[in-house]
Structure 1
Amino acid sequence: MAAPGGRAAARRAGRGGRGAGPRKGGIRRFFTWKRILGTFFGLCLLGIGGFVVLYLLVPIPKGNPIATQQSNVYKYSDGTIMARDGKVNRESVDLSKVPKPVQRCFVAAENKTFYTDSGVDLKGTARGLINTLTGKGTQGGSTITQQYVKNYYLSQEQTVTRKLKELVIALKVDREKTKEDILAGYINTSYYGRGAYGIQAAAQAYYRVDASRLTVEQGAYLAALLQAPSQYDWAVATDTGKRLVKARWNYVLDNMVEQGWLDKGARDRMTFPVPKEPKATPGSEGQKGYLIDLANKQLEQQLMKQQGLSASEAQARVEHQGWTVTLNIDRHKQTALEKAVKAQLTSKLDKKKRKVDGAVQAGAVSVDPRTGRIVALYGGVDYFDHYLSNATRDDYQPASTFKPVILAAALDGGARTQDGTPITPNTVYDGTSKRPVVDHGTKVGFAPENEDDRDYGDITVQTAMNKSVNSVFAQMGVDVGMREVLNVAGRLGMDTAGLKAVPAQTLGSMGASPLQMAGVYATLDNHGRKVTPSIIKSAEQQGRRLQLPDPVGDRVIGREAADTVTSVLTGVVDDGTARTSVRDNPLRGGQPVAGKTGTSDNDKSAWFVGYTPKLVTAVGLFGEDPTTHAQIPLTGATGLIPGTGRINGGGYPAQIWAAYTFGVMDGVTRFDLQTTQGAAVRPSSTPSVTRTPSQTPSHTPSSSPPASPSPSETPSQTPSGTPSQTPSTPPPTAPTATASGSGRPTPPDNPLLPGDGQ
């Protein structure tokens, strides 16, 4: 029989004795399943109640998109008005005038369930709300009805309030309007690029037809275009943009087949409908259109970063939205650049006499390296004649203007040759044309030819830069490591995304624009601090000013490395491929100049990028077939003898640069260089070193005064009044030294002829 009080003792032991289970703490007692579920359902009811209240309180506003459209005003840096962007290009059409298959293109592209849904995508809207709350920016998917509401009733701003209003209004619009009315509103209010609002304006802008005459192929392109009008406009799209819009076009047509709206056989026979060339709008003649385009693009980029807009949303927020944009463009320098291009190049072109003259396109960008401001820009002969800006196009090779980037990577990383010699301006390399590039004794399958297949023998890096010797910089790129070279190129401002780290990149075989190259050289000029050229001085809308980032950023390479590259590049001007056009220019007046020439494979592009302490300007010439837009050689343009009369970087590009830069100089300025290397502090020279083949190139060549041009120097044959493109200079004596990685001596007296590398 249990003792009295045993049950009580057991209960006590069960509660707190040694064999008892764990107690429920205060937090566990608070977060019970009942309370969690009750709270969840309470919040759900609260949310539903709040939405009901919101639904009752938010009316469908009166749509009036045309009244919200205003002309943008663009000003020069001094505040004088440059241009207004004209009235809005918009014309609404009745849906019955748009072919039914074309209507379905837009449904297939944006919202396959459009005809059956309630007008909202709850998952996409929830995703958009979460992105907005967490600062991720880009909106989730939305229906055609929601996009129409955003276009017609609301704004493009990315806020929680706007998204909730969009949801409510979309539900109400879907109840009160027919699907046909909503679709008509959507295709008539959307922005398609080229200043075109609505499908009628878009049909005219891209295909020169009314909306009623659009084909399914054309309709699919316009539907695809809405995702990113600027990026997908075939006339200005990059290779990536063209690939993406073609993929989007295929997606639209495949969806139509899936929905039963298009016959599979008919779809398989369809080919991509390349749009017609765009027509410039009034007020954008001459260079103005190029300036406005770049200002709009940079403004859109800022809106995308700061407000989380998509590319198409940002473009819609900029075009005809009442902005007052003051540019960094200096009217005096802009006029001087235009005059320099005309005097040095376009006045010499005659398309009637020479077909190739019609293929010559020039582009230039001029930047203040201390502030990053774009003070002048040349996009082409006229925005009406050539819609694509040559200043910002990046489809041509920068050629040998890339060589300073390789040297910058070597110097900044303290790189060495494969036999252990530090790479400096005085390091000796083998400049033999077609010399196989070696990676620690193994040939990498790359043996670049120097221009005109010239052999230079053993030369210093300084001389190789002066003469633009391909074989030297190909080997240097492998010595440094091509991944590091591309890494430094990206830090300096080049677009290296997707580039393969292969030795062929040392020839500048990637694409680059004058804008990019001006930024790279401005960063060198600014002692290694990153310069991102900006055309916008200020941008205001309805009294609110957009915050703009400082174009000059942090240091991306060491000052000594940047200053040494600058020092080396003065040798290109004073003792290399740019001496005739720049060094000997009568307007120079003792102004120190650094720069680099470039001539691409098959003479399809020619460059000179040069700078003083106050001004960096990149000038590029591009061979573009005026009909097919294919890249073609510049050889023979302006009457230069085909085969010998190449358009190289030391010719017209350098002449344009010199006429412009020396014409706008405000006194002579000196480089402030923190380096003891390079031509600016140690004159470039021919090294005089004798050693046995077993020695490494770690010796520093002795310096001597640079060789002066012979009085007998004569220009190569050119038309009357056309400056020499390929001056001839008596060769100095080459060294007898073992080149990096070559393992052999080179005979003396190998001629060092001037030449611009490919």
Structure 2
Amino acid sequence: MNPYGDPQSPRARASVPGAGASAPDDQSAGPSPDAYRRGAGGRASVGSASVGSASVGSASAGRASVGGAPVGSASVGGVAGSARVGARASVGAGTGSVGGRASVARAAVRPGTATPGGPPNAPVPGGKDKKSKAAKRRRRTNILTAAAAVVVIMLGAGVVGGTYFFDDVALPPPVTENQQNAILYSNGALIEKVGDQNRTVVPEDKISDVVEKAVAGAEDKNFYNHHGIDMKGIVRAAWNNFTGGATQGASTITQQYARHAADLKAISINRKLREAVIARKLESQYDKEQIMGMYLNYVDFGEGRYGIEAAALGYFGKSVTTPPGQKNAVTPYEAAVLASIIKQPYKTGSHPGYDPNDNIVNGKVGGPALERWEYTMKNMLDMNWISQDVYDKRAYPKVKPRGAKGASSGAADKPVGMVTRHVMAELNSMGISDQEFEQGGLTITTTIDPKVQKAAEEAGSQKSDDSPMNGLNPKYQAAVIGIDPTNGRVLGYYGGDTPSGLDYGGYMSANGKEIVGGQSPGSTMKIYTLAAGLKEGVSFDSLWNGDLKRRNGTKISNAGADPGKVCGGKIKYCDLETATIKSYNFPFYWITDTIGPEKVIEAAKAAGVKHMITDEKAGFKNGEIIDLTKTDKSTWRNSFDNEVGFGQYRIPPLEHAEGVATIVGQGVHHNAHFIKTVKRTDPESGKVTVVGQENIKGNRVFEADQMSNLSAVMKKIVEVDNRDLKGGREGIAKSGTWEYQEGSGDCWFVGGTPQIAATVWVGGKGNKVQLKERDGKKDMFGAGTPSKIWKMFLDTASSALDLKNEDFPARIKTGDPSKFGNGEKPPEAPVNNDCALAVIGLGCGNNGGQNNGGQNDGGQNNGGQNNGGPNNGGNNGGQNNGGQNNGGPNNGGNGGGPGNGGNGGGNGNTGDGNAAQTNGD
């Protein structure tokens, strides 16, 4: 319905709670709240109803007979006490039968009235006569209202009974209009507005006066002079009901708001009478400005815009709070456009409505919209609310076309819109209920930096031409998350292109209530295993045996790496540092077995991981999500085994990103969060209060020296994978891959700089798939596409923020190599007695032997002992030519003779080639 109660588009009416209980109107004997507009009034008391004769009296003049005997009559009797005009009038007990007698008392009016805008009981020009006339008008209004009810009852209009007319019709409490919540970037720019209705409530005293006058001109030009009731409308409703005609009629602004406040939707005489009573009570409780403010904040202005502020922003890109005369203030002509829409904001099958965008004629606004605008402008002139000059210069203003984003544009179709889910989750954790969120009026400033957000989207989205994801299988999906490790603020978040779809970054449900999934972190989980091990005293120099099988007798997988090449042929005594850089699994299985899987999980939890998912089992199709914050170590030990040490069990990427930020932040944990501040604006006073705020206080969970030790090793991973950052910026990283159907299913690259911790995941969109690189043949690993996304994101974000280069702390070695490890004792290096020949100039064979042309410098096996060894390598197959610089994993070594020393080494030691040979990470 439109504001008049006529049927129209279902979008045209806001859903408002039903009428509430009213408070007594006779609690004060003083003047009414709107006494400065009208005289302080008396109180009308309606006596008990009974069958009998009817006569209508006056306050001082005798009795007048109305109606005939067959129907009965009502007598207006003497004074029944005093109270303000418009206050509750009591109706005595009686039957609801036709012909019942109602005894209506006269209204006693206190001396003195008030001039508009003046104090109560202020003298009025003209003296007593004018006061008396005003009092009589008010008394007549009340009497006619009650009389109309009696007439309707007498005519059999279907009203339950007239006795409730004043007493039982409660004055509903002021309606708290639902409005939108504004979600902002960290710099104050709008991300989107969220709420069922596009409404921003503004205090009445902030609304431009020209807007209020225009609305009065369009809807009720006598608004400032009457007492809320359109008696013609009431009589017309009664007559039409009696004759079987339509029941609609013109309503005052107060009546329109009364209908909204009491949620009166039915089209009936009953509704019209209740509406009239509530309007009278509203006028006694509130002044005109208050009623106008409530009305303007509720009314529908079309195109899904509720309230005057949303309308002004939507149609003109202006705010009604800008004072007249200032830049971007709403003009009288624009105000008239807004006011003219109210009567019929949406077109119907029989009427085009008054929305200017629905009334375009030959490229200009015409038709009913133009006519209604002219009507409004003329009323504004007639009421002296605009000058003749303003009227004469009138021209229909330019209106934003439908669909223009304007000031209330949203992010419903943008990747950043996914942030809203996490905002909702954090609001709940701050104690802000769903009801408060739905009520709206919140201004939420997030931690999201627009530059970092853009970098995350450009690096991770297949829709980005520059992204390493562009051109890959469309079934592939990436997630990119950037966090400030010094405070936990999420700076950029890409979890998918569609905010309404699956959240690949945090697996947060659409309503922000729960975590619904995760992905296997693979070898990136080893950062927590190392943190737990370092805490127990594990050293990076400890040795581990890769030939040992699990306790259940099965072989530990190293992504298909040739056992003879693992750790440069030292598989039985591989040091932990090399195993970390090459991402072998066996040391991490045994570290977990030694210290217990619960300690690895405890380290992950301390870093920020809160949920971990068990393997699929009976009763759990996709595994059970274990909340680590609500369970203990006994649950963990029963749910997860030693494979937790190298990333079998799924976790949400966002929680992993929080943990990565803790490692990057040298062991100080901060809660990853999306909200900086939450503010609420009081719709009545306009006062802004902070109702929620971030907590950036961190707590140390890992020792600084142990983290410097870990960072130094992770720094080498960046170098090995050839992912050095631009400008010599120092970074640390860890790659990870988890298999799927003999291929790769989840690929990761995590780490960052001292200013930004970056987490990248690539996997299947929806369902798991085997991940291939761009050629469609080569398996994808964490050191492949994910590492390229990671580098692109950090390079772009760091440059956009103009971050200065910072280094990680210098390395402090920790732990005891003899305390942990199960590796065999390495063989002692043979003593070469031929070195004595150097005295006579014949040289030594060690330069082409085990030390320089062998395991350490000639690559893992191919540039090693056999081909670059003591007999064949000599001086030319030694350190420089057959060594680590030229003798890569695949091609080096065979050419390691006296003249060629490893020139066939090629590029096998860079990035992906090396990764493929090791653990694929």
Note if 1:333 corresponds to 2:448: no
| Structure 1 counterpart of 2:577, from 457, 462, 465 | 462
Does the CA contact (< 8 Å) of 2:444 and 2:677 recur in 1?
A: yes
Give CA-to-partner distance per residue, 1:694-744, whole Å, 9 cap, x none.
xxxxxxx9998997865576999xxxxxxxxxx83399xxxxxxxxxxxxx
Distance in structure 1 (CA, Å) of the matches to 2:700 and 2:608: 12
Change (3 A) 1:753 1:598: closer
Task: Report the structure, 1 or 2, having the larger helix content.
Answer: 1
The residue type paired with residue 759 of structure 2 is A
Note if 1:83 corresponds to 2:192: yes
Distance in structure 1 (CA, Å) of the matches to 2:198 and 2:715: 50
Change (3 A) 1:425 1:688: same
Distance in structure 2 (CA, Å) of the matches to 1:596 and 1:639: 25
Does the CA contact (< 8 Å) of 2:483 and 2:492 recur in 1?
A: yes
Distance in structure 1 (CA, Å) of the matches to 2:497 and 2:796: 20
Distance in structure 2 (CA, Å) of the matches to 1:514 and 1:658: 18
TM-fit CA distance, 1:667: 3.1
1:549-564 pair list within 5 angstroms: 549-564=694-709
Distance in structure 2 (CA, Å) of the matches to 1:488 and 1:446: 27
Note if 1:322 corresponds to 2:441: yes
Partner of 2:647: 508
Partner of 1:300: 428
Give CA-to-partner distance per residue, 1:491-531, whole Å, 9 cap, x none.
11112535424112123122222211221121122221112
Does the CA contact (< 8 Å) of 1:290 and 1:389 recur in 2?
A: no
2:726 aligned counterpart, secondary structure: coil
2:748 aligned counterpart, secondary structure: strand
TM-fit CA distance, 1:756: 3.7
Distance in structure 2 (CA, Å) of the matches to 1:477 and 1:75: 44
Give CA-to-partner distance per residue, 1:94-128, whole Å, 9 cap, x none.
xxxxxxxxxxxxxxxxxxxxxxxxxxxxxxxxxxx
Does the CA contact (< 8 Å) of 1:468 and 1:756 recur in 2?
A: yes
TM-fit CA distance, 1:451: 0.8
Note if 1:630 corresponds to 2:767: yes
The residue type paired with residue 673 of structure 2 is S
Note if 1:452 corresponds to 2:560: yes
Change (3 A) 1:755 1:318: farther
Change (3 A) 1:675 1:513: same
> Larger C-alpha radius of gyration, 1 or 2?
2
Note if 1:598 corresponds to 2:736: yes
The residue type paired with residue 71 of structure 1 is Q
| Structure 2 counterpart of 1:639, from 775, 791, 797 | 775
TM-fit CA distance, 1:387: 4.1
Does the CA contact (< 8 Å) of 1:290 and 1:379 recur in 2?
A: yes
Distance in structure 1 (CA, Å) of the matches to 2:582 and 2:594: 20
Partner of 1:544: 689
The residue type paired with residue 553 of structure 1 is G
Does the CA contact (< 8 Å) of 2:733 and 2:749 recur in 1?
A: yes
Query: Structure 1: which 5+ residue stretches go unaligned?
Result: 1-52, 91-151, 154-280, 305-313, 350-356, 415-422, 438-442, 679-685, 693-700, 717-726, 732-750
Change (3 A) 1:503 1:397: same
Partner of 1:405: 528
Distance in structure 2 (CA, Å) of the matches to 1:292 and 1:316: 16
1:645-656 pair list within 5 angstroms: 645-656=778-789
Distance in structure 2 (CA, Å) of the matches to 1:344 and 1:706: 36
Distance in structure 1 (CA, Å) of the matches to 2:824 and 2:694: 47
Does the CA contact (< 8 Å) of 2:677 and 2:694 recur in 1?
A: no
Distance in structure 2 (CA, Å) of the matches to 1:333 and 1:554: 26
Distance in structure 2 (CA, Å) of the matches to 1:466 and 1:408: 15
Give CA-to-partner distance per residue, 1:402-451, whole Å, 9 cap, x none.
0111111011122xxxxxxxx2111111234xx413xxxxx245532111
Distance in structure 2 (CA, Å) of the matches to 1:516 and 1:449: 26
1:353-368 pair list within 5 angstroms: 357-368=473-484
Change (3 A) 1:704 1:591: farther
Partner of 1:737: none
Partner of 1:486: 601
Distance in structure 2 (CA, Å) of the matches to 1:705 and 1:368: 39
Distance in structure 2 (CA, Å) of the matches to 1:590 and 1:409: 31
Partner of 1:395: 518
Partner of 1:755: 918
Does the CA contact (< 8 Å) of 1:406 and 1:506 recur in 2?
A: yes
Note if 1:345 corresponds to 2:468: yes
Change (3 A) 1:318 1:646: farther
The residue type paired with residue 294 of structure 1 is H
Give CA-to-partner distance per residue, 1:569-618, whole Å, 9 cap, x none.
1122123xxx13x13xxx52322211111111212211111111111010
Does the CA contact (< 8 Å) of 2:478 and 2:504 recur in 1?
A: no
| Structure 2 counterpart of 1:62, from 147, 160, 172 | 172
Give CA-to-partner distance per residue, 1:52-91, whole Å, 9 cap, x none.
x99xx9x9883787x531111111111122211254399x
Distance in structure 2 (CA, Å) of the matches to 1:300 and 1:709: 56
Note if 1:72 corresponds to 2:210: no
1:340 aligned counterpart, secondary structure: helix
The residue type paired with residue 562 of structure 2 is R
Does the CA contact (< 8 Å) of 2:179 and 2:198 recur in 1?
A: no
Q: Which moved more, 1:336-345 or 1:599-608?
A: 336-345
Distance in structure 1 (CA, Å) of the matches to 2:808 and 2:411: 40
TM-score, length-normalised on structure 1? 0.51
The residue type paired with residue 479 of structure 1 is T
Change (3 A) 1:454 1:300: farther
Note if 1:676 corresponds to 2:813: yes
1:216-295 pair list within 5 angstroms: 283-295=411-423
Change (3 A) 1:637 1:592: closer
The residue type paired with residue 84 of structure 1 is K
Give CA-to-partner distance per residue, 1:241-266, whole Å, 9 cap, x none.
xxxxxxxxxxxxxxxxxxxxxxxxxx
TM-score, length-normalised on structure 2? 0.42
Does the CA contact (< 8 Å) of 1:710 and 1:730 recur in 2?
A: no
TM-fit CA distance, 1:637: 5.4
The residue type paired with residue 468 of structure 1 is S
| Structure 1 counterpart of 2:718, from 570, 573, 581 | 573
Does the CA contact (< 8 Å) of 1:344 and 1:652 recur in 2?
A: no
Distance in structure 2 (CA, Å) of the matches to 1:674 and 1:544: 47
The residue type paired with residue 541 of structure 1 is R
1:512 aligned counterpart, secondary structure: coil
| Structure 1 counterpart of 2:804, from 655, 658, 667 | 667
1:155-194 pair list within 5 angstroms: none
Give CA-to-partner distance per residue, 1:251-295, whole Å, 9 cap, x none.
xxxxxxxxxxxxxxxxxxxxxxxxxxxxxx963222221122222
Distance in structure 1 (CA, Å) of the matches to 2:185 and 2:758: 19
Distance in structure 1 (CA, Å) of the matches to 2:657 and 2:597: 22
Note if 1:472 corresponds to 2:587: yes
